[in-house]
Each structure stands twice: as structure tokens, then as C-alpha cells.
Structure 1
Amino acid sequence: MPNTNEQTRLHFLSGNFEEKIRILKKTFQHSGDFEYREFMVNETKSVLFFIKTRIDEGKLNDFIIGNLLGTPGKQDYIKSLSTLETGDLTLITDSIIAGSIAFLDENSSQIKLFAVGQPPLRSISEPSSESIITGAHDGFVESLDTNIYLLRSHLNDRKLALQYHKIGTKSETKIAIVYISDIVNKEKVEEINKRITSIKVDTIISPGSIVEAIEDDSFSIFPQLIDTERPDKVRSAILEGRIVLLIDGSPMAIILPVTFFSFFQSPDDYNSRWIPATFIRILRYLACLIAIILPSFYIAVIGFHYEVVPDELAITMKNSIIGIPFPPLIEAMLMEITIELIREAGVRLPKPIGQTIGIVGGLVIGDAVVKAGLISNVLVIVVAVTAVASFVLPSFEMTATIRMLRFPLMFMASMFGFIGISFGLSMMLMNLCRLESLGVPYLSPVAPFNWQDLKDTIIRLPMWMYKMRPIYLKPQKERQTEDLRGWKHKHGK
């Protein structure tokens, strides 16, 4: 027996002019911005249905005046609009919600749909969260069509493939799966399609909901997908053989599969010469190590291992903690939590005030707690260096992970010293070794080891050496370029 929606659909298909009007009005009875206009066209009753907040008013007026009412000079305006004729009630309602005008007259059993949706409201600008020094300065916006336009403007490839899905029985959020059909591993495309189509929810609140639904291990602290607003970063990922998800209503593109080393790469690495780019990338890995272990190293030295530092430094550190009422763990925890509070306050407040809070708050609190004898001055330096190091990473997801990882290490260091730090780092490494991103080992190409892919991990070799795509992605076309410096061979150099 057909359900209520199916009965309504069948009734709509077989209904007369007045019945179709009644069904459409009932469908949108709860939408205050739904409107309909009845008028006569050549002595024929006609009606328009649309959602006022989703259409371009100028196109609506031109359509009505120039075509239906026969204004001279505008008879062919309708030819410039995307037109569809259908009797499917579901398609009609979805199209009206998306920004189309539905036209019905009493002599036709079908409804014509005209796409007159509003253009995107936000202009294209550089993402504030992923600023770079050199390279393209455009970024994705909240319109899926605009984002695809931006991507195609960066990548003119006839093999660029798009697959669309709708997720959410209520929101019907539109998602585009983007890849290059003759490069990507087909098994990866099938896998991501399977994961997306298996999502059964009534609405998608944010892209994070999709990320948590499709990532391999939601209980791992390490991110397994990359979010980005940069079309140039997406283009590079697609050309390597990765898959990108674009979500309507979100400026974030989701790149997968990725590895641990992907989070340390920035578009600036490829817009500058390889030697300074390699130096900066190594600096990022060093900053990551500092952000994770420096506070726990301080706790371990103060509590267990004075012998590992020079005598002069040991005396300075001992003098700095004389009179401090808290053990090293509590002392470090108080400062780290204070820094996190200042950082979060700076993000939530308006930009000019947020910068002031970060600078003034850090200086005032740091100076006050040292003068009050609550915190040692050496710890203030340690916490400040740790905070600066955590900002060096180009990926916000990995930065958030690094900020959280130092807290369990601080507890381990307070109980077991360097042995506790070693144990904590070993647990992290084991977690990294077992992780996968869409079936790709998270530590590729280090584990499993592949020397050919090391050219773009910890170091960044010259671009003319990038002749092969990453082997761990198993692309259909392994070769990326024949020879970037062919001129040298032609001249016998």
C-alpha cells in the first residue's frame, strides 16, 4: 500500500489545474516566504510558484513582464533561462526550494521550472585561516556551484569528474565528490561513495558531521582528513590522485586520503625554492616536537632529572622554584590552561579586541604570577615557547591535536620522569602506526617505507624530481611528468 507521500504524488499527477494548485500550496503551507501569483496569459489561467527569499527578483519581473505578458523586446528572454518540464512533485518541490520558479497553466498537465536563483551573497576572498605569502589568494565560499567554478578555473581537465549526493532527509545537503577519473584509484572512489550513501540522518549540521561519519577511526585523537578553503591546495591534491568532497553551504573542502605528513605541508612550500621550503618544513616538525614535549620535559627535569642540564642552568632553575607553593605538575597545568583560555577568548572576541586580549592578557598574567611567587619564571618561558611552537603548524586540525597531547604527557612526566615521556610517545607512535585514512596507512611513506615518496615528506626536493605520483595512493597513472628540465638534456648539460 503506497504511503501518504506517494499517494499525494500520484494525486498530483492525475489532478486538474485547481487540484495541482491546492497540493502545492498545502506542501508549502508552513513556509512564510512561499508565494504564488495568478494571472491570465492569452485568456488562459496561469500561476507562478516560488520562494521569495531564494530567487532573483529582477529575473522574476523580467520573466513575468517580458514573456508571459508579452512585453515587446523581451519575447526571447525565457530562452536564456534553464528550463525543465516535469510532473514529478518531488522534483518540483526540490526545485522551488533550490530557487526555481514553477509555472503552470490550465491547458498543460506538466509544470515548467525556470532556474532564477539568487547569485552567491559572499564574494570570493582569501581564507583568513589559511593565509599564504605567495600564490593564489582566492578561497571557497558557501555556494557549491561557485566552489566548483573556482576549482575548474584552477584545473582545466576534461577528466575532472563530479558525483553528486544528497544527505539528510530534512536538509538534503548536496555533496560533490571530485576527482580526476584517469588518475584516482577507482577502489577509493567506490569506498567513499559507499560511506557517504550509508549516512542515514535527517539533517547535516556541519561538515564535521560528515567527517566523523566517513573517517576510519573516530576515536583516534589524530585527524584523518584535511579541511581546507584553498582551491590551489585542492587542485594539487586531486592531481596527486586524492578525492575531494565539496559540501553545499560550507566553504570547507575535505581532502582524503591523507597521511600524517600531509598536515605539515603548505602551498607556500611549492611557491618558493626548495631549499628554504625544506628548512621551513623541518622547522614545523621541530615545532611540533617542542609543542608536545617541552612542558613535560620541564616537569621531568624539575622532579627527577636535574643531572641532564648543565650545572649553571640547574642552579638557575632551582632558584626560580624556591618558594613556589605548587608541585611542577600543578604549576605547569595552571599556566597551560590559562594560555588555552586566553587563546580561546582571542578567537571568540571581535578581531581587534581578540588581539589585545592575547597580548595584554599574556603579558599581564605572566608578569603578575611570577611577582606573586605562584609560578617560576622559567616555566613562563617554557609555556610561551610551547604556545608559539603550536602556532607554526599550517593545519588547524593537527594544531588542536598537538595542544591536547601535551597534557597526558605532563601527567606521565610527573609520575615517571623521562620514562613516562618515552612511554607516552611510544603509545602515540603505536596509534599512528595502526591508523588508516581511507585504507591508506597513516604514516606512509615512512611506515610502510617507500624511499621514492620521501621526496615530499620531511623534506621538499626540487619540483623537477617529482616524476611519480605518491605510490601509496595507488593511482592509475603513476607518472606525473616526463621531464621538467628537458632543456638541460637538449643542450647537453
Structure 2
Amino acid sequence: MKLTYKLSNILDENIEAVKNSFRETEDLKIREISFLNVDCKLIYLDTLVDKKIIEKNIIEPILDCKDEAVLESVIKNAEYSRRIDLEGTVNSLLEGSCALFAEGENSVLLMPVAAADERAIQEPENEHIIKGAHDGFTEDINKNIFLVRRRVKNPTLCIKNTTLGSLTNTKVSILYIDELVDHGPLDVLIERVEAVDVQELQSAGELEELIEDNSYTLFPQMLSTERPDRAASYLLEGKSVVIVDGSPHVLVSPITFFSFYQSPDDYNSRWLIGSFFRLIRIFSFLVAICLPAIYIAVVSFHSEVLPLGILYAIRVQIEYIPLPPFFEAIAMQLVLELLKEAAIRLPSPIAQTIGIVGGLVIGSAVVEAGFISNTMIVVIALTAIASFVAPVNQMGTGARIVAFPIMIAATLFGFLGIVLALGTLLIHLCRLESFGKPYLAPVAPLHFKGLKDSLIKTKKKNNTSKQT
């Protein structure tokens, strides 16, 4: 039976059409009910609905009804709707609704009775803060919208819903404040989301890859967050938020490079403290991509830039190391990534053990064996710490990967290679866009007013003046 089938006024034909759409699934339940001597059938997916709600709000009121009444006035469910097409009926059943068919009617009464999500709201594991809210998004799209609406009590907060994935029928919601949003990037976002044509969509990360401007760059063009307070703050800045059902991560667009180094803690601290730590994070990006390359260039080409005492100490350490500095750095960077991946995949107690074993035992062993110098261990450790400073994990991972081609350039041409590599990176970042907005704004193109809350956090001021 095709989903383009229109419902008829024959009850058994409609039920048969729904059954054929679901093939032979055993969680499709059908219950016969009589409403004022009219034969009705209630159909639902047993694994998606709350049967107590069905019994209390639908079945009991119908069976207790003795006087002439319209079916919609009898049921006690908060929401209901009527459909005349099979496709809408099937999709509603898959979203946790029950369908009530009546003999002689060519429409169906649909009532949402989805079972509640059991996972409670809790603090995100990947975005800890010191001061501020400690709740996070969940896998339920309605609960996520509730968390945003609880913070943004504004009647102009708009929600645009769509469904993506021909097999998964994943619900996607785009949130924005109509009086604040820049409609140019918003229109681009909506157009790209509606143009997505895939069979399955299960996470926000999959959607991000499908709609971002450049999927071949290491730098994300949408910010992914699990924090409702962060999503709400971006909405109030005129940005859009994309929520995908089944994913605790929401996407923010358009976004700039500097947004990835901002944290909710900045706005919960005094402006001088917030600005200091924001500048530290931005500086950490430069350390993460340049420090190994600078060490390689100094040791291989430009040892004259070091004071004699430091140069002597480094030369003594690397004198009997069999590997060139480049291969030392590559090996230790790869070991770092292996340890990080192992720590992520393993249970927490074992992951802590892996960190201790990897950081102390392996590090000490390779130095004592004469494969890696002490100085290289320090350089890689500082690089790792600098990359982990980024509040958003995607940017930290991208910084560590970008460091590899810069190390190659330093190995070939020394400081000149680093300058050429950084120049190429800067050109790439300047050309990059996020839904039509420059990625390096407000630095490139330069906008002085925008600098006040990108590089530093400005002091918050009262909008009202004192009455005299």
C-alpha cells in the first residue's frame, strides 16, 4: 500500500492500509471500541506510547460516554488533530501518537501519547563550568526546546520544524528570535536544511556536515554545544539554533572563530577576569599549532636564537637521540592522540589509569631508552595542554591536526616555513564563511565595535539611567 493513499469511509480498509504500511511488526496494536454504537478501532505502536495515558484520557472517556457527543469533545487528551492521508497517519504513529478510526469517516483522529524520556536533565560532561547553570540538553527535542524557552521568555522566539531522513524521519527544529536574527544567514540555513535529502539522519553532527559551507576544512563552521545557557545567549545575539531529535548537541550558526574560545564562565566573572582568560584561550591556539614547529626550526636551523646556556642543555639532550626532531614530534603527537582516544573509549576508572601509565611510565621509559629527548616531552605536553584549553573539543582537535603541516614546513624551511604555513592558514581562515558571514569577523574584515566582545569581554552596563 502506497503512503499516498487517501483514507476511505470504510473502517477495515483504513486499518488494513495502516497494517500494510508497517508490514509484520508485532508492536502494532489494534483495539476495538464502540462509541455510541459506532464501531471504532484504536491503533498505536506499543513500544512508543504510554498505555496509562491511552487508558485514562482516551479509552475510559469513550466507554463512559452515554449521551450524544462529538468524539473530540469526549477525549481528555491535551492535543489532537485530524488527518485524511495515510502518510501523515503513519508518521504520527511513529512519533508516539495513537490513531482512532471510526466507521463511516474518511479521516482519523490522532492524539500524541508518547512515552516520557527517562533520562533526566544533568550537567554536560564535556562542557564543565565553575559558575553558572548546571543543566544540559538531552536526547528529547521537546525537552531541549523547553530548556531554551525557560531562559528566553520572548514571544518572538520562533520555531520552524521539519523532518529529515526518508528512513528515520528525524525531527529537526530551527530556533531564532525574529526581532534580533539576521535574516540573511537564517534564510541560507533554512534553505540548506530543507534541501537535505538523505535516507537516515541520527545526530546533529551528521546534519552539520551536510549543511556547512566547507566540509573539507578542519575548522567547524557551526558551534556544537550541550549547554542551554550557551544556546540561549547566542539566540539573544541574533544567531540561530538547530536542534536534532535524538541528539543532546545543538548547533549554533552563523559562528566565528573567536566564539569557539568563549565560555559561559566569562560572563559569570568580572569583566577583567573574563577578558584575561579569553585572551589566554586564544593564545593557547597559537601555542598548540606553533610550539612543536618552533622547536623543530630552532633545533634544526636557528639554534643561534637561543641563549648559550639553554642551547647547551638542549644539545646535550639530543646528542644521542637517533630520531630527527621532526620524527620525535610526530611520534609523540601520535602517541598523545592514541592515549586520548583510549581514555575516551574506556570506562572512567580505567581511563584514569591509562592517563597515568601513558603520561608517566611511557614518557619516562622512552626518555630513558634514548628514543625521545626530555625537551620534546615538555614541548608535546605544553602543546597538548594548550589544545585542551579550547572550550569546544572540535577546535582543540583541529588545532592539533593543523600542527602537523606546520611541523613539515618548519622541517623543510625553518622559520620561513612556519611563516609561509601560518600565512596560508590565515588566508584559508579569511576565505572561510559561516552561512555567508566571515569566519574571522570582526578581525577580518575589521570592525572595531565588534572587537569589544570577541577578543575581550566588555563590562556590562545598565540600560537605565539614574533618576535625580
TM normalised by structure 2 equals: 0.95
Per the alignment, residue 313 of structure 2 pairs with 316
1:345-403 deviations in Å (ceiling 9; x for gaps): 00111112112211222100000001101111111111111111111111111111101
1:93 deviates by 0.9
1:248 deviates by 1.1
Note if 1:234 corresponds to 2:231. Answer: yes
What is the distance in 2 between the residues matched to 1:282 and 1:87?
59
Per the alignment, residue 380 of structure 2 pairs with 383
Note if 1:161 corresponds to 2:155. Answer: no
Q: 3-state DSSP class of the match of 1:137?
A: coil
Q: Which runs of 5+ in 2 are unaligned?
A: none
Of 105, 110, 120 in structure 2, the residue corresponding to residue 108 of structure 1 is 105
Of 1, 4, 8 in structure 2, the residue corresponding to residue 14 of structure 1 is 8
Of 41, 46, 51 in structure 2, the residue corresponding to residue 47 of structure 1 is 41
Alignment of 1:39-438 (within 5 A): 39-63=33-57, 65-70=59-64, 78-438=75-435
Is the contact made by 2:212 and 2:221 (CA closer than 8 Å) also made in structure 1? yes
1:97 deviates by 0.9
Is the contact made by 1:81 and 1:116 (CA closer than 8 Å) also made in structure 2? no
1:434-483 deviations in Å (ceiling 9; x for gaps): 1111111111111111111111122112022xxxxxxxxxxxxxxxxxx4
Please tell me the residue identity of whatever aligns with 1:486.
S
Is the contact made by 1:66 and 1:77 (CA closer than 8 Å) also made in structure 2? no
Is the contact made by 1:65 and 1:71 (CA closer than 8 Å) also made in structure 2? no
Please tell me the residue identity of whatever aligns with 1:414.
T
1:81 deviates by 3.3
1:246-289 deviations in Å (ceiling 9; x for gaps): 11111111111111111111000000001111111111122111
1:211-248 deviations in Å (ceiling 9; x for gaps): 12211112222111100111111111111111111111
1:43 deviates by 4.4
1:4 deviates by 4.4
Runs ≥4 residues deviating over 6 A: none
Note if 1:28 corresponds to 2:22. Answer: yes
1:78 deviates by 2.3
1:309 deviates by 1.0
What is the distance in 1 between the residues matched to 2:2 and 2:16?
16
Q: Percent identity?
A: 41
What is the distance in 2 between the residues matched to 1:456 and 1:46?
61
1:324 deviates by 0.8
Is the contact made by 1:142 and 1:249 (CA closer than 8 Å) also made in structure 2? yes
Is the contact made by 2:170 and 2:202 (CA closer than 8 Å) also made in structure 1? no
What is the distance in 2 between the residues matched to 1:16 and 1:324?
85
What is the distance in 2 between the residues matched to 1:127 and 1:77?
43
Per the alignment, residue 484 of structure 1 pairs with 463
Per the alignment, residue 447 of structure 1 pairs with 444
What is the distance in 1 between the residues matched to 2:325 and 2:449?
45
Is the contact made by 1:63 and 1:77 (CA closer than 8 Å) also made in structure 2? no
Is the contact made by 2:9 and 2:103 (CA closer than 8 Å) also made in structure 1? no
Per the alignment, residue 38 of structure 1 pairs with 32
User: RMSD of the TM alignment (CA)?
Assistant: 1.9
What is the distance in 1 between the residues matched to 2:153 and 2:200?
34
Q: 3-state DSSP class of the match of 1:258?
A: coil
Is the contact made by 2:10 and 2:105 (CA closer than 8 Å) also made in structure 1? no
Is the contact made by 2:202 and 2:246 (CA closer than 8 Å) also made in structure 1? no
Per the alignment, residue 475 of structure 1 pairs with none
Is the contact made by 1:100 and 1:116 (CA closer than 8 Å) also made in structure 2? yes
Q: Which runs of 5+ in 1 are unaligned?
A: 465-482
Q: 3-state DSSP class of the match of 2:274?
A: helix
TM normalised by structure 1 equals: 0.90
Is the contact made by 1:226 and 1:256 (CA closer than 8 Å) also made in structure 2? yes
Please tell me the residue identity of whatever aligns with 1:216.
D
TM-aligned CA distance change 1:93 to 1:301, over 3 Å? same
Is the contact made by 1:168 and 1:202 (CA closer than 8 Å) also made in structure 2? yes
Is the contact made by 2:288 and 2:387 (CA closer than 8 Å) also made in structure 1? yes
What is the distance in 2 between the residues matched to 1:212 and 1:426?
26
Please tell me the residue identity of whatever aligns with 2:43.
F
How many pairs does the alignment contain?
Answer: 463
1:322 deviates by 1.7
Is the contact made by 2:141 and 2:245 (CA closer than 8 Å) also made in structure 1? yes
1:40 deviates by 4.2
Q: 3-state DSSP class of the match of 1:103?
A: strand
1:154 deviates by 0.4
1:60 deviates by 2.2
TM-aligned CA distance change 1:485 to 1:383, over 3 Å? farther
1:101 deviates by 1.1
Q: 3-state DSSP class of the match of 2:134?
A: coil
Q: 3-state DSSP class of the match of 1:48?
A: strand
1:42 deviates by 4.8
